[in-house]
Amino acid sequence: MRNLTIAAVSMTSLVGDKPANLARMDHLLSLAAAARVELVCFPELGITGYSLHPDLLQVAEPIPGPSTGLLLAMARRYNLAIVAGLVEREDADHHFVSQVAVSPTGSLAVYRKTHLSPMEQKLFTPGNELQTATISDVLFGILLCYEGHFPELSTIYALQGAEVLLVPHASPGEAPPDRLTRWLRYLPARAYDNSVFLVALNQSGDNLNGLIFPGVAFILDPKGRILAEWTGYGDNILTAELKAETLLAVRNQTMGYFLPRRRVDMYHPIQSALPPQK
């Protein structure tokens, strides 16, 4: 990888008000560009807002579509890459929790959330692919909120060559310090076990649709150590420089880089040992 200055943005996203949310993103992008940020990651469903009410599907749209067109224009205007989320409509019966990555050169990559929470399964369709994307010459994997609880996903991305994991959330409830404490129980392990940088962030504040989100963001190095963190409410831009030498130093350690030493020949019984789903 190369050195990359990245921003994790926590922001308030109003349910169904895409014009207001995109205008808020535009303003935050202007601030990030002034700070010489090269890639900005916004929260899960930041464009459409997050709700589990079927009315949310009314603002779903195809990808590419109007919102991704505006994101591409912003990426060109500010000369940076953008990762942002919305409800994607494939057809009348299939709607996805999607995160798109766009670049100033016009590239567009889409990730559809593969592991939906039990309540989300009633409204959305799960995606079926875990694919890395190259953004600003760095290889990324995306985990959306609930997916951070499944260690296998992070490992799959790392085996595909991911250098950074982006973990955008739309997770309501709790006070910001409590949410930070909970995230720190498991997300540093995703970075540490796989020797990758990790960037986690949440929506923030009142979405005027019955949900209040604790503003939390942090950026971890490949040893799971905190490079930057923030908690609060309202909008915030958290930045850090991800240094190539830091990643290489970890991966060049004989004892400290675990991924190549996995005994995959021992893993085949895992599937048959799984408990039945409820």
Which pLDDT score, from 0 to 100, does residue 268 have? Answer: 75
Are 85 and 144 within 8 A, CB to CB? Answer: yes
Residues of the chain with confidence (pLDDT) below 70 = 269-278
What does DSSP assign to residue 276? P
Task: Identify the structural domains of the chain with CATH numbers, from first to last.
Answer: 4-257 (3.60.110.10)
Are 83 and 103 within 8 A, CB to CB? Answer: no
Q: From residue 207, how far is each of 25, 71, 81, 146, 196 by CA, in Å?
A: 15, 21, 26, 19, 32
For 8-57, the pLDDT digits (tens) are 999 999 999 999 999 999 999 999 999 999 999 999 999 999 999 999 99
Dihedral, CA atoms, 41, 132, 120, 122, nearest 10 degrees? 140
Which pLDDT score, from 0 to 100, does residue 46 have? Answer: 98
Burial annotation 219-257 (CB, 10 A radius, 16+ → b, else e) = bbbbebeebbbbbebebbbbbbebbeebbebbeeeeeee
Are 133 and 107 within 8 A, CB to CB? Answer: no
Are 51 and 206 within 8 A, CB to CB? Answer: no
Which pLDDT score, from 0 to 100, does residue 269 have? Answer: 66
Are 100 and 110 within 8 A, CB to CB? Answer: yes
For 79-92, the pLDDT digits (tens) are 999 999 999 999 99
